[in-house]
Amino acid sequence: MNLLTPETVARESFSDYCFSTIGRTAENRFRASGYLALRDVSCIATNGVAYLHGCLPTYYLKQLAQEIAATVEGVSLVVNKIDVKAPARKNHSAPVHDAC
């Protein structure tokens, strides 16, 4: 039987708090960047690794999101799982579908 000591519980709670704070901080920086497309990028961080998810229209924005996440304190590695898909062109003869 594995009993958690108060120190272990406090350390795990602190770690969970830090990791969720890292993700929120990165997402807040995406929103503050001035690039509207970055607002839809999500970040989940664990053990110093920030995982980026979402869909963006250019590789430039994908790289920018990665650079922004890398500057957040506590991030040692960024795993960029953002898909790049150009917005669908408007064609009056066919229905428009969202790229992501």
* DSSP type of residue 72: S
What strands, in cross-sheet order, belong to the sheet with 49-56? 42-46, 49-56, 77-84
At 28, which amino acid appears? Answer: N
Please, are residues 41 and 51 in contact by the beta-carbon 8 Å criterion? Answer: no
Give CA–CA dist 92/41, Å, rounded: 30
> Strand 77-84 vs strand 49-56: parallel, antiparallel, or unpaired?
parallel
Q: How confident is the model at residue 96 (pLDDT cuts 50, 70, 90)?
A: low
Write the class of the CATH domain 7-84: alpha beta
15-57 pLDDT, tens digit each: 454 557 999 999 999 999 999 999 999 999 999 999 999 999 9
Give CA–CA dist 95/32, Å, rounded: 33
